[in-house]
Amino acid sequence: MAVNFRNTVFYGIASDIKACPPQDMPEIVFSGKSNVGKSSLVNALSDNRKLARVSQTPGKTQAVVYFNVDRKLYIADLPGYGYAKTSKEKKEKFSKLAEDYFTCGRKIDLVLHLMDIRHNPSAEDVGMLEFLNNSGLNYFVVFTKCDKFSRQQLMKRLNELSKELNFSDDAVVFAVSSEKKTGLDDLRNAIEEHLFG
Ligand SMILES: Nc1nc2c(ncn2[C@@H]2O[C@H](COP(=O)(O)OP(=O)(O)O)[C@@H](O)[C@H]2O)c(=O)[nH]1
Ligand SMILES: [Mg+2]
């Protein structure tokens, strides 16, 4: 089934697990640190700059934001973790929402775990990958902001990271730039293939 990612619309927002919408289509979940580029990737995949709010302020997205893609699937953009500038209470509440999302019994068809290619993986990233490996959930690793590197640097960096993160041979890894719009077709095709192939 061909998915037209351009036909993506905002669907809703949930600041509580109980407020998450019913599931009548496959769902892919975007996870990763605040500021890693989740909203930018939603916009880039759908070729619509105005869809998801791109924030300069880490921690601003404090809810799960849903998008519907071509009436065929949902994207759930989770609140990011690892931001320091909000109050402790907020930080706990919002990271709990992201955490609970994976254990609340929701059917998750695919997780895209985003990491900034330039940064060393955080403890949360390592923990998340470990959780994903143990959970049996299907996931892709998506390295973001790859425009910051030359092609050669990128290959070197990907090698380093896959060693550091102990990627298995069957790990599914993408390198994208929402700014330069690279790697997006591969990712769109893989999502389509995974859900409907
Ligand atoms: N250079 C570069 N910057 C990016 C890219 N994607 C996102 N950013 C920047 O990273 C910041 C955070 O992006 P955002 O999408 O709001 O991240 P989120 O908090 O994970 O949703 C913004 O300033 C974006 O402009 C990219 O592909 N390349
Ligand atoms: Mg965001």
**Domain containing residue 105: CATH number:** 3.40.50.300
**Nearest ligand to residue 145 Cα:** 1
Is the CB of residue 186 less than 8 Å from the CB of residue 143? no
Q: For 147-167, give one letter per residue: b (16+ CB within 10 A) or e.
A: eebeeeebeebbeebeeebee
Number of structural domains, the chain?
Answer: 1
Domain that holds residue 53: 8-196
Residue 3 domain flag: no
Percent of the chain past pLDDT 90, that is, above it, reads: 74
In a domain, 34, yes or no: yes
Q: Is residue 91 pLDDT above 80, yes or no? A: no
pLDDT band at 82 (very low <50, low <70, confident <90, very high): low
State the distance from the centre of ligand 1 to the C-alpha of 178, rounded, in angstroms: 8
By C-alpha distance, which of 64, 73, 61 is closest to 28? 73
pTM summary value: 0.93
Answer whether residue 126 is part of any domain. Answer: yes
pLDDT digits (tens, 9 = 90+) for 9-46: 999 999 888 999 999 999 999 999 888 999 999 999 99
- Whether 75 maps to a domain, the answer reads yes
Ligand in nearest proximity to the CA of 59: 1
Best mutation site among 29, 35, 144 for ligand 1 pocket (most ligand atoms within 8 Å of CB): 35
Residue 62 in any domain: the answer is yes
CB distance 79 to ligand 1 below 6 Å: no
